[in-house]
A and B are shown apart, each in its own frame.
Chain A
C-alpha cells in the first residue's frame, strides 16, 4: 500500500467535515449542554416545579413535570449557550491593532 493511502493524504471527505465555525458551534453547544444538564439536575432536585406552576396558574390544564423539566433544561441550555457563544465570539475577534 502506498503512502498515499495514509489518512494524512486522504483528500478531504464529503462527510464529517467541519470548518472553524462549525467546530466553534459544536463546542459551544456541547459545553453548554453539559452545564445545562448539571444545572437542571441540581435545580430540580431542590425545586419541584409542579406546585409552583399550579400556584401561578390555578385554572386550566397544567403541564406535567416531564414538560416542565424539559423546558427548564432548554432554558438552562439557551442561557449557557448564549454565554458560551458570546465568550467564544469575543475571543475569536482579534484585538485592536496596537499603534506603534
Chain B
C-alpha cells in the first residue's frame, strides 16, 4: 500500500532531500556494528595515548619528518612502504567488496562509525524516532530548545575531542593536552583541531547519509567489484510478496499473502532512508539494520527468519553461489603477494642510510703536498632504535689500489638512535697520477680512450656499522681534479 501511495516521481533530476530518522534496532548485526564502533573509535581515541619506550607509540611526526609506528620508525626515504601499504589497503577493499559486498560501508567506514555515535547522542537527548519526528514538527518551546541545545553541546564537545585526537596523531598528544589546558595552543594546531572537529560535526551530524549518497566515490565504483556471487542485502520477493498486514496467527497462504507483513520496519531503521524491498540500490550501505528489524518481526509472527538477509543474487535466483571465482582468486593472490612482500621488505629494510653531497663552494683544493682534496658532506642516517658507530669507506669503481684516501683515514661517527648526523670528510689523491682513472665522458667523447686531461671520477662512499658489518648503505658522488 505504501508503494501505491507514493507521490509520482519528481520531474527534476534531483529528488528533494528528506531527513531520515533512523529507528533504533536490536539484533545480531546491530551488535556486530556496535562492537565495531567501540573497537574502531576506541582505537582512534586511545592509540595516541599509548606509549612506546619514551615516546608516543603511534606518532606521525610531520615537523620532524618521521613516522613512529610502535617499534618502527619510517623516514621520508621509506615512502615506498607507505605507498605499498595504501595499495594493500585498496586491494583489501576490492577483495572484501567482491566477497562480502559493502562490508566496509556497513561496519568500518568512519562515516558510518561516527554517524552511529552522533545518532546515539541524538537519541539520548531527543528520544527515539517517533519523539524526534514529533519534536522537529513541534513549534519551538522550552523543552525543544533544551533538548536541541543539549544535543548540540554533546555533538560539539565530541567533535572538538575528535579534532584534538586527530591532531594528537601528528603532535605529541600529552604536550598538546598541556597546551590546551594552559590555553597556549599554536595557531595551526588550533586551526586543525577546529577544522577536523568541524568536518566531524558536518559529516556525522549534518550530512550523514548524504555523504554516502552524493559524495562518496567508493559508493559509486564499488559496483564494479560486484558480481552475482557477491554478498548483498536481499529481500526474498518470492517469499514476501504479496505483502500485506495480517493478524498474528493468520495463515498467510490461506489469506493469499506472502511473508512480508508490510510493517515498514525495514524502511524505518534504514539510515539512508531506502526500502530494501525495491531490490539492491546504490544507496544501500549494507549496514544490515533491516535484517535485524525484519528478523525480529519474523520472530514475533512465528515465521522463519531471513526474509531480508545477506545473500547473493545467484542464490536469490536459485542458482549455485561460487565463492571462489576468478575475480576473488586474482584479488586474493595479489593481496597475499603484496602482504608477504611488504613484511619481507620491511624485515630486510636497512636501518642505516647515507646521502653524500659534494661541497658546493669549492670543487677541489690542491694541497702543499701536491695532493688534490675534495670535501664532502655526509648525511649519516640511523633509523635504528639504538645508537650506532658507523665507519665510512670510499672506493672508485675503476680503482682498487686505494689511491683515494679519506681524511681522517677511517672516519667513524657515532649516530644517535633515530637521527641524522652531518659529517664532513675529505678525500685526497695524488695529483698527476697516471694510473688515475680520468675520463670526461660527460663532455669530450674524442678523449674517452686516453684522456690527458684530469676531470671527474665517480666515487662510491660506503658506510657500515662497526658492530654489525651486515648493516651497510652506500651512495655515489664525484671527485674533481684540475686539468693538466
Interface set of A (CB-CB < 8 Å, partner B)? 1, 3, 5-8, 10-20, 23, 26-27, 30-31, 34, 41-42, 45-46, 48, 64-67, 69-70
What is the distance, in angstroms, from A29's C-beta to the closest C-beta of chain B?
Answer: 8
**Stretch of B41-49, B210-218, B371-379, B448-456 that contacts chain A:** B210-218
- Asked if B191 CB lies within 8 Å of chain A CBs, one says yes
**Contact across chains for A23 and B210 when beta carbons are under 8 A apart:** yes
Task: Check if A7 sits within 8 Å of B208, measured CB to CB.
Answer: no
* Contact digits for B69-88, partner A, Cβ 8 Å, 1 yes 0 no: 00000001001001100000
Partner of B214, one of A23, A34, A65: A23
Q: Are A13 and B14 in contact (CB under 8 A)?
A: no
Interface contact B76-A48, CB-CB below 8 Å: yes
Contact flag A66-B206 (CB < 8 Å), given A6-B2, A15-B19: no
CB–CB B136/A14 < 8 A: yes
The reply on B133 being an interface residue by CB < 8 A is yes
* B2 and A70 within 8 A (CB): no
A19 CA / B16 CA spacing, docked (Å)? 7
Pick the contact of A16 from B19, B130, B137, B214 — CB < 8 Å?
Answer: B19
Q: A26 to chain B: which residues have CB within 8 Å?
A: 207, 210-211, 214-215
Write 5 A-B pairs (CB below 8 A) sorted by A numbering: A5-B133, A7-B273, A17-B19, A41-B82, A46-B79
Q: Which residues of B contact A (CB under 8 A)?
A: 1-2, 5-6, 13-14, 16-21, 62-63, 65, 76, 79, 82-83, 130, 133, 136-137, 170-171, 186, 188-189, 191-192, 206-208, 210-211, 214-217, 264, 267-268, 270, 273, 275
* Given A6-B268, A70-B188; A13-B62 close (CB under 8 Å): no
Apart from A6-B268, A7-B267, A23-B14, list 16 A-B contacts with CB within 8 A. Answer: A6-B267, A8-B18, A10-B20, A12-B17, A12-B18, A13-B19, A15-B136, A16-B206, A18-B17, A18-B207, A18-B210, A18-B214, A30-B215, A42-B83, A46-B76, A46-B79
Give, as a whole number of angstroms, the nearest-CB distance from B469 to chain A.
30
CB closest residue in chain B, given A19: B14
User: How distant is B383 from chain A, measured CB to nearest CB, in Å?
Assistant: 15
Contact of B18 among A3, A7, A66, A69 (CB under 8 A): A7
* Alpha-carbon distance between A23 and B208 when the two chains are bound, in angstroms: 13
Contacting residues, chain B, for A10 (C-beta < 8 A):
18-21, 133
Question: What CA separation (Å) do A15 and B210 show in the bound complex?
Answer: 12
Residue of B nearest to A66 (CB): B188
Collect the chain B residues with CB atoms within 8 Å of residue A42's CB: 79, 83
- The answer to whether A65 and B215 touch across the interface, beta carbons within 8 angstroms, is no
Q: A31's closest neighbor in chain B, by CB?
A: B217
Give the complex CA separation of A53 and B211 in angstroms.
38
Contact B17 A64 (CB under 8 A): no
Q: Which residue of B lies closest to A30 (CB)?
A: B215
B82 to nearest A CB, angstroms? 7
Most buried by B among A11, A13, A34, A67: A13
Docked pose: A21 CA to B117 CA in angstroms: 28
B213 to chain A, nearest CB (A): 9
Measured CB to CB, the nearest residue on chain A to B61 is A65
> What are the residues of chain B within 8 A of A64 when measuring CB–CB?
63, 188
Please provide the 3 A-B residue pairs with the shortest distance between their CB atoms, ordered closest to farther: A13-B19, A45-B79, A7-B273
Question: Which chain A residues border B275 with CB–CB below 8 Å?
Answer: 8
Please tell me if the beta carbons of A3 and B264 are within 8 angstroms of each other in the complex.
yes
Complex CA distance for A84 and B96, rounded to whole angstroms: 30
Across the two chains, which residue of chain B brings its CB closest to A64?
B63
Instruction: Flag if A48 contacts B65 (CB, 8 Å).
Output: yes
Q: In the complex the two chains form, what is the Cα distance from A45 to B273 in whole Å?
A: 42
Nearest to B216 among chain A residues (CB) is: A30
Residues of A within 8 A of B1 (CB): 3
Q: CB-CB < 8 A to B268: which residues of A?
A: 5-7
* Of B21, B211, B214, B270, most A-chain CB atoms within 10 Å: B214
A6 pairs with B264, CB closer than 8 A: yes
Q: Which residues of B contact A46 (CB under 8 A)?
A: 76, 79
Q: How far is the CA of A5 from the CA of B19 in the complex (A)?
A: 12
Residues of A within 8 A of B273 (CB): 7-8
- Contact (Cβ within 8 A) B18 A65: no
CB pair B63–A66 under 8 Å, yes or no, is yes
Tell me, in angstroms, the Cα distance from A76 to B268 when the chains sit together.
41
Nearest-neighbor residue (CB-CB) of B1 within chain A: A3
In the complex, which residue of chain B has the Cβ closest to the Cβ of A34?
A: B217
Measured CA separation A11–B1 after assembly (Å): 19
Out of A15, A20, A34, name the residue touching B14 (CB < 8 Å).
Answer: A20
With A and B bound together, what is the CA distance between A41 and B170 in angstroms? 14
- Decide yes or no: A27 and B191 within 8 Å by CB, A5-B130, A48-B76, A69-B62 being known contacts: no
Q: How far is the CB of B270 from chain A (nearest CB, A)?
A: 7
Please indicate the chain B residues that have their CB under 8 angstroms from the CB of A20 in the complex.
Answer: 13-14
Residues of A within 8 A of B270 (CB): 7
Q: Which residues of B contact A13 (CB under 8 A)?
A: 18-19, 136
Chain A hits for B14, CB < 8 A: 19-20, 23
A31 touches B215 (CB 8 A): yes
Chain A residues positioned under 8 Å from B13 (CB to CB): 20
CA distance A34 to B268 in the complex (A): 32
A46 to B83, CA, bound (A): 12
Find the B residue at minimum CB distance from A28: B215
Closest A residue to B265 by beta carbon equals A1
Closest to A14 in B: B136
With a CB–CB cut-off of 8 A, which chain A residues contact B2? 3, 6, 8
